[in-house]
Amino acid sequence: MSDTETLRLKRKEAELLQRIERLRKAMNETKDLNTLAFKGKLFKEAQEQLRQIEEKLAGLTKKEGQD
Q: Where are the domains of the chain?
A: 3-58
Res. 65 pLDDT band, cuts 50 70 90: low
Whether the pLDDT of residue 61 is over 80: the answer is no
Residues 6, 60 contacting (CB under 8 angstroms): yes
Straight-line distance from the first to the last Cα atom of the chain, in angstroms, rounded to the nearest whole number: 13
Dist CA 65 CA 36 (whole Å)? 43
Q: pLDDT: is 23 or 61 the higher one? A: 23
pTM of the predicted model, to two decimals? Answer: 0.72
Dist CA 41 CA 5 (whole Å)? 28
Res. 67 pLDDT band, cuts 50 70 90: low
The stretch 38-53 carries a mean pLDDT of: 94
